[in-house]
Amino acid sequence: MSREEILFANEAFYQAFADGDEAAMDALWARDLPVACLHPGWEPLYERDHVMASWRAVLQDPPGVQCRAPRVFCYGDVAFVICFEMIRDNALIATNHFAKEEGRWVMTHHQAGPTRAAPAADADAPPTIN
């Protein structure tokens, strides 16, 4: 089912992020579709070369991020996941956009920023799929 595939792609993103794995991160992002990225406090990044350069910089000292309470929204060949990013006991809220490219789900956009909310106590429960 597509929703499980999207969740798998989202989990792969956070694994690459946490591990500082540049090759895995590069493989997750779309190559033919337009991409964008909004890191907290950074200017918007619009082209794949700029987005990947930003990830190479971030992954030099990965912050030990963990994804909590992911919620998948799927619309055919386009989807997004809203989740919490836990970094050193601080919560950010993130939106990760995915689209089908050559038969697989790839990331087309990532945005994370501050939030006053926090994941629920059962945030490690199975993800919500809408």
pLDDT at 122: 63
Q: For residues 37 and 54, is the Cβ–Cβ distance under 8 A? A: yes
Residues paired with 97 in a beta bridge = 80, 109
Q: What is the pLDDT of residue 121?
A: 67
Return the structure tokens found at 35: 């991409």
The one-character DSSP state at 82 is: E
Q: Whole-model pTM?
A: 0.90
In the predicted structure, residue 13 carries a pLDDT above the cut 70: yes
Token pair 């995915």 in the structure block, residue: 98
DSSP 29: B
The model's pLDDT over 18-52, given as tens digits with 9 standing for 90+, comes to: 999 999 999 999 999 999 999 999 999 999 999 99
Predicted pLDDT at 88: 84
Please write the tens of the pLDDT for every residue from 65-84.
999 999 999 999 999 999 99
Is the model's pLDDT at 86 over the cut of 70? yes
Q: CATH classification of 2-115 is 3.40.50.300, yes or no?
A: no
Q: Domain extents for the chain?
A: 2-115
Comparing 121 with 9, the larger pLDDT belongs to 9
Is the confidence at residue 59, as pLDDT, over 50? yes
The Cα angle at residue 68 between residues 24 and 109, in degrees rounded to 5:
50
Contact between 2 and 14 (Cβ < 8 Å): no
Cβ atoms of 57 and 115 within 8 Å: the answer is no
Q: Would you say residue 126 has pLDDT above 90? A: no
